Structure formats: structure tokens, C-alpha cells
Amino acid sequence: MPMNRFLLWLLLSLVASPLRAAPDGVVAVSHPAAAAAGARMLATGGNAVDAAAAVQFALNVVEPQSSGIGGGGFMLIHLAKTGETVIVDSRERAPAASRADMFAPGGAPMAFPLASTSGLAVGVPGTVRGVDTALRRWGTMALADTLAPAIELAAGGFRVNRFLAADIADDGGRTAIHPETAAIFRPGGVPLAEGDWLVQPDLARTLRLIATGGPKVFYEGPLARAIVEAQQRTRGELGEPGRGRMAIADLRDYTAAIRRPLTGQYRGWTVASMPPPSSGGLTLLQTLGLLERFPLGDTTQGYGFGSAKTVHLMIEAMRLAFADRAVWIGDDDARALPQAALLHPQYQAARAALIDPARRIEQASAGDPTRWAPAATKAPQRIRSRAESPQTTHFSIVDRWGNVVSYTSTIEYTWGAGITVPGYGFLLNNELTDFNFVPSADSATGNPGANDVAPGRRPRSSMAPTLLLKNGRPVAAYGSPGGATIINSVLNMTLNLVDHGMTPGQAIAAPRVSVTSAAGKVACEGGEDFMQPRLSIAVQDRLRALGHVGLGEAGTDGCQGRIGSVQAVVVDLTSGAQYGAADPRREGTVIRVGPGAPLAP
């Protein structure tokens, strides 16, 4: 099969480009073809927002299991000219006909595998509207120009990489449930394998329609009607309760929200990240606030990277922050939530005082921040959170002017709802499964039901596109996929940069530790050669002795997982040099447009 025209164009254009003293930008993306799409925009004079649009559309083609126009996401943008940082929130919304108990008809929650592959799980998609909003306000290129690379990839095809092949083979049957999806990824009943050539003519046609007619094509007319009809699919076991609630009006009325990032200080650095409806930024800043009271990074006191004392503190801070997340974080547009109170210094100090460096907290429960909230409510009750999907995608971009984009997008679970819109070639999300299946609102206990289903509400997310600044100037932009582990991947990255003095490449490759519930089951990495330095068995045994769970039997290596996929861009404040670092956990790719320093310092 001949080399894809688009990738050949990129290779020739970069080789032929004259050397220039100043960098023209860097993209760090989880897939090389999508990275090439962003680099193409930068090489032809576009800015970071233009490049981000091209990357997002290309990812729909080459990583369809993770993100696309049938989903949503959060784009953090730093504008060099004004120093302003904004976020385009294109998170999916619950349709107007949604009800708090729709995943628990009769009081019994639906089984997740059934509910998540039915139309009931589909939220109103926001990606097209969000990208168009960003381009109109801060981009320099037309929507059609940014769609061109994705159209070429969809029409001309690309080789299936090992990650896409593995996600098809190990999908739990999700690509086989609905015939349109099976026809693309399991032609003739045979799953696509690594090296196979994938052409998607229906998707190419859809992207051309959007390029010609703009977002209105997606949110009104025949395509919108096809989306509504597709999400009326259900699983036979669910019957009528499994049908989607979306109507044409829900699509027509969808708007992206422009938000200000949550910001906090950590050891003299400014951290800017995503506010609700994502729990990512708030939980990240809360965890950093708890840890700042301890001397992480001080090897003379035993707090170096991967030491038992350091990992123990990280685990305990995660447990406390995730206990609060389960109760207090949801869609702040739907009802006021105690954001400032969760980050109030006195509340943080009270929570941090629960952490004992020498022993494990027996029961990490949600706290009551309402004492520091403008309108206090009763203390909450502990609720059970459902596990989130590890799939999503993240990329980071910096352009020649110093504008920065950190963008996390998703269709929620791997393959979303598994429903491909007939004749249009793209998958629909199953984002509404991020809501509580059983309503938690309870006036007697004060539980606000922050993440209960409600019309127009956006489900709680964990996405955390993040920017690290020094004296108001961006130094690093990064983020990760991984469901609830996103927060901890970004936390690990931040600690590695700030406390442990790692280079971006080292910080990404280092093994990660994650806890995503108050119960505290530990997940940790170390099963691949690039994950260095490893968490030794001696350290793991010390953690076991403290009572931490999830690491397996004493004397064994319980750190064998894979967590997240961080893509980062970095700007040297002294020289202005721009770098990128990509995660080997996926097919992470850095492309630097123009000459300069190494790609991954």
C-alpha cells in the first residue's frame, strides 16, 4: 500500500523548509498522523488554536476509539499577547428529557455494560461546536482548512497501529454490537489487525459536509436527524428504558461554554487547570495543597522520588481529595458548588492534618467545606462512585508566538456507546454514564446530588488539561487520558517537574502511582523498561506494612500496570526555546516546526 499522501507531504515540506533561527512551534500528540496534522497548520502560518483544531479532527480518524466529533472535551488556551488563559468547554450535555433516575428505573441501577452501549448513554456532542468557537475567537484559519488533513486521512486511509488493533481485539464486544461499527472495524467479521489499511469514506464525507457548511450541518438538518435516530438504539435486555432521550432541539441549542481556569499556587509555581464540570483541576489543586505541607523532593529526609515516605503521602492525599470529589464536584452551572471552600487554606490545613507520615488513615471520608462556603448546607453523606473509562486522548501545542493549547477530549468509554451514525461514519459518546446511576441528592443529609442526571447538565469529568506558569509566563502544558486516573497522572507529572527536578521526558516516563477512591486501592506502574526509576519491592513492602491495598502479596512486584498517556510542550523562559515530550505508553509523537533544541529534553 503506498504511503499516505498527507504524511508524505509533511515529510517533504519539513525537509525542504529553510532553517530559521526562531522556532515555529511544537506539537505533542498521541498519534503521529494527528501530530502531523497540527504541524501542517503551524508550518503554513497557523497558530496553536488552528493546529489544535486540525489535531482533534485527525484524531477522530486515527483514534476513533478515544475521541471525535461524536464526543466533547476541554481546550485550555493561553494567549501570549494578553497573558490571558481561557477554556473552551465542549463537554456533552444531558438532553432536556433526561431524568435523575433514568439509569435506575424502578430504583435498580442498570448494568453498566448494557446501559453504556445503548442510546440512553449518549450525551449531546460538543466537539464540533467547541472547535468552531475556539477558531472563531482565537484562531486564524477557516474551519475547512483545519479539516483538510482529517479528510485526507479518512479518504486515503492509514495503517492501523498496535494500539488501535488491541482496542478492537480486546473491546469486550463493543465494536460488534452495532452493525455500522462492525462494518468499519470488523469487516467480514474479522477484527482489523496491526498493519491493516483503514479507509473511512463515510467519515470523509461527513467531514467534507462540515467543512462546506460549518457546524450548522452537524447540529441541524439531515446529519442532526441521523444522530437522533442513531441514539434511539437500545440493547434488547433494556427495552424501552434504554432508548436515548436526545431530540433535534437539544442539538440545535447546544453551545460551548467559555470558562476561566482554576488556578492555585504550588511551591512558587502557578498551576492552571479545568474547573467544574470537570473534577480534574479542583481535585488536582486540592491534592497539591495537601502535599505542599510536606517536604516532597527532600532526599535528606527520605522524600525522594519513589521512596516509601513520598508514595505514602501521595496515596493519602489522593484518598482525601477523591473522597471530597465524590460528593462535592459536578456541574457548577447547574447548582452552586463549594469550589473556593474546597481550596480554602483553613479547610486544606484541616484535611492535611489527617495525614500521618507514619500510618495509613483508617477511613478517608469526605470533609465538610461548607463552613468556608458562601451558603452553608448540611454535611454530606459518603456515596459510591462508579469506575471511569481509561480511554480519552490529550495533546499539547505551542506556536511561534507563544500561544499554548492543552486539550483533552473523549467519547468516554473505549468506543463510546459503540454506535456509529449510519451513513456518516463516526461514533457517538456514552458520556452520560459519568453521571450517578442512582440519584444521590438528599436534603436530610445535605448531599447536593452534584453529579445526578438533570436536563442540560454536564456530567462530572476527570479531564485536567493543565498549564504550569512561572511569574505569569507559561512553562509547561500537559494533560492525560485515563478516566479518574487523569488527575493522578497530571499530579505525578507536576510533582516530577517541581519537586523531583526531572526533565519533561523523564517526568513523563517515570512510573506513576494512582488512587481514585477513598478506599485507597493503589495502582502503580513499572512493568516496562522505560518506566524508571522503578518502585522497588522493598518500597512496596513498606507500603503494604502501612496497610495500603492493591499491591498484591508481600515480596512480589505489584507495580505492573499502565496509567495514562501524558503529552507535553515546554518553553524555556530564558532562551525561549520550545520543546515537546511524548508518552511512550501510546504512540506519542513530537513534531517541532522549524530548527532548534532536541524534541524531548
Cell of 396: 499539547
State yes or no: 400 annotated in a binding site.
Answer: no
State yes or no: 461 annotated in a binding site.
Answer: yes
Torsion of CA 459, 460, 462, 468, to 10 degrees: 110
Alpha helices (H) in 110-157, listed in sequence order: 112-115, 127-138, 143-156
* 12 to 417, 488, 516: CA distances (angstroms): 39, 39, 45
SS3 (DSSP) at 440: coil
State yes or no: 91 annotated in a binding site.
Answer: yes
What is the Cα–Cα distance from 137 to 504, expressed in whole angstroms? 31
What is the Cα–Cα distance from 482 to 499, expressed in whole angstroms? 23
Q: How far apart are the first and last CA of the chain?
A: 35
Torsion of CA 425, 164, 132, 599, to 10 degrees: -150
State yes or no: 480 annotated in a binding site.
Answer: no
State yes or no: 452 annotated in a binding site.
Answer: no
What is the Cα–Cα distance from 216 to 235, expressed in whole angstroms? 30
Phi, psi of 198 (to 5 degrees): -110, 115
DSSP per-residue string spanning 197-236: EE--HHHHHHHHHHHHH-HHHHHSHHHHHHHHHHTT---T
Active site residue 181: no
In contact, 50 and 140? CB cutoff 8 Å: yes
Residue recorded with cell 496497610: 547
Which residues lie closer than 8 Å to 39 by C-beta, 6 or more apart? 10, 14, 25, 27, 51, 591, 593
Which of the following is catalytic: 175, 392, 420, 433?
Answer: 392
Cell of 520: 485507597
Cell of 261: 481556569
Annotated binding-site ranges = 91, 434, 461-462, 483
| Known binding residues for L-glutamate | 91, 434, 461-462, 483
Catalytically active residues, by annotation: 392
